[in-house]
Amino acid sequence: MRQGAGVRRGAKVGPVRALWTVVLVVAFGTNVPTPLLLVYRETLGLAPTTLTAAFGVYAAGLIPALLLSGPASDRFGRRPVVLPFVVLAGLVSVLFLAAGSSVLVLFVGRFLQGAVSGVVFSVGTAWLGELIGEPGRSARLTTIALAIGWAAGPLVAGLMGQWVVLPTVLPYLVHVALMIGAVALLPGVPETLGPERRRTGGRIVNLGVPSVARQAFVLVVVPIALGVFAFPSTAATVLPLLLTPQMPGVAVAVAGIVAGVTLSTGALVPPLERRLGATRAGPTGLALGAAGLGLALLSLVLEAWPLLLGVALLLGAGYGLCLASGLAMVARLALPSERGALTGTFYACAYLGFGVPYLLSALAGDGSLTGPLAGLAVVSALAAAALALPAARRLSGGD
């Protein structure tokens, strides 16, 4: 009996690694434009609000894709939904080759990038979870894949954008090359949702929240989800943008490094989530995010951009714990026939955080960002305190 189980686990190693790599490579591409926004700012003459809008429009394409693709994969299977969008992820990077001379192409590219990655992240997470078969482990592996991809993309793009020729071209060609390899891996990944387990009929948009878990999802999972991208998006766009005058000659590289450190830190914290348990890891992530925002305020007051490294570590740890905690809760709450739908709903809530940089810029107007950043820090701290209460942990099932 033990031997048979070992054979089954061994048989899954190849497909798990293949799909894990595909998710990572798609994630790599989504953040290639992030540090290059400072280049686009100069070449296209973009205002700060336009710049943060170009970053945030990614979520406008991604959220509808998340809400539609999860239920579609629950009905038609994982492979038919994921495969074409993995191919499209590479084609969108080709489109970005023209973004250096066109604001329209930049916005269209970011929108399409969001739509494509929304499908791959949502359905790919559910697919990977079914291949692995253990909710906690699949949540940690997915968090690591996404975090490494999201971190490597801006790090590579920032360094290339600062010190190589064709800064708005070569980083995208790197991603296209990686996508070719990723597409070649997919034929070895089997379908995990057989016809007998597929959802038949029902609504096109299905949030996948079980009736018995609605209160837990809204009051516990959603606040944690919002922290996932509110923290790294602030670190990757707003702070480098504000401190650019203090970083002559290295601003693009620093923006890439800050984004890379923030997002790679998220890849290191899943073991901590396992120790804390999902319902404790979420509040801890929000508290670390609040601390990171507090340090960011200090860096702005002192005009000390090297403090951004500490900010990146704190916000990265906060984002990683929120992501791993949220995915573990979703895996626990979801019905097997609606796992894709609920995963998509979680990611849709998480990606609302991409709108935070634009919101901060809009609230600041022509004034200082100190007030809006302080407000975000306070809200994050209060949410952490509320979710750490025993009542909140009991509501979500405890650990």
Q: Is the pLDDT of residue 13 over 50?
A: no
Q: Is the full-model pTM beyond 0.85?
A: no
Select the more confidently predicted residue: 90 or 209. 90
Q: Could you tell me the domains of the chain?
A: 12-185+207-395 (1.20.1250.20)
Mean pLDDT of the chain: 86
For 96, the enclosing helix (H) or strand (E) is none
pLDDT band at 11 (very low <50, low <70, confident <90, very high): very low
183-198 pLDDT per residue, tens: 999 998 999 887 666 6
Separation between Cα atoms, residue 364 and residue 145, nearest integer Å: 35
Lowest mean pLDDT among 212-221, 262-271, 279-288, 360-369: 360-369
Separation between Cα atoms, residue 296 and residue 305, nearest integer Å: 9
* The two structure tokens encoding residue 290: 């609040």
Would you mind telling me the total number of residues written for the chain in this entry?
399
Task: Look at residue 202 in the predicted model and tell me its pLDDT.
Answer: 59
Q: Are 312 and 285 in contact (CB under 8 A)?
A: no
Q: What would the mean pLDDT of 124-137 be, rounded to a whole number? A: 84
Q: Is the pLDDT of residue 5 over 50?
A: no
Percent of the chain beyond pLDDT 70? 93
Q: What would the mean pLDDT of 264-285 be, rounded to a whole number? A: 87
Q: Which residue has the tokens 């979680």?
A: 346
pLDDT band at 200 (very low <50, low <70, confident <90, very high): low
Lowest mean pLDDT among 36-40, 42-46, 239-243, 350-354: 239-243
> Alpha carbon 122 to chain centroid distance?
11
Separation between Cα atoms, residue 50 and residue 41, nearest integer Å: 9
The DSSP letter of residue 234 is I
Task: Look at residue 293 in the predicted model and tell me its pLDDT.
Answer: 95
Task: Look at residue 361 in the predicted model and tell me its pLDDT.
Answer: 81
pLDDT band at 8 (very low <50, low <70, confident <90, very high): very low
Q: Is the pLDDT of residue 75 over 90?
A: no
Q: Is the pLDDT of residue 46 over 90?
A: no
Q: Is the pLDDT of residue 12 over 60?
A: no
Q: What would the mean pLDDT of 316-328 be, rounded to a whole number? A: 91
Q: Is the pLDDT of residue 199 over 70?
A: no
Residues 6 or more apart whose CB falls under 8 angstroms from that of 69 comprise 81, 85, 118, 119, 122, 123, 340, 344
85-102 pLDDT per residue, tens: 999 999 999 999 999 999
345-360 CB burial, b ≥16 within 10 A, e <16: bbbbbbbbbbbbbbeb
Task: Look at residue 4 in the predicted model and tell me its pLDDT.
Answer: 36
CA separation, residue 214 to residues 211, 246, 279, 336, 349 (Å): 5, 47, 16, 16, 14
